[in-house]
Amino acid sequence: MSQYVTPSNPELAKLVKSLPQWAREYFEERAGILEYEANFPRPQAEELAWGEVQSLIDRHSPKPK
């Protein structure tokens, strides 16, 4: 049993499920902040949080030489 709520968008749910633990925690934190502090509906908050996770991963991924 997962400690997280499954995103309502099935495609996003698949992507989020494949994240490493640290990235999933970041996704959940960002989605929660966007939902409760910025008053976005949960589905929109999840989409925005996904964009932030992608940016974070891109910034910290090794760059090809």
pTM assigned to the model: 0.86
Residue-level pLDDT at 2: 67
pLDDT in tens, 37-65: 999 999 999 999 999 999 999 988 877 77
Contact 46, 12 (CB under 8 A): yes
Residue 49 in contact with residue 13, Cβ under 8 Å? no
Q: Indicate the average pLDDT of the chain.
A: 92
Give the DSSP H or E segment for 15.
helix 10-17
31 pLDDT tier (thresholds 50, 70, 90):
very high
Rounded to whole angstroms, the Cα distance separating 22 from 30 reads 12
Q: What is the pLDDT of residue 47?
A: 97
- In the chain, where the domains are located: 21-58
Question: What's the half-sphere exposure (Cβ side, CA atoms, 13 Å) at 40?
Answer: 15
Q: Which residue has the higher pLDDT, 5 or 11?
A: 11
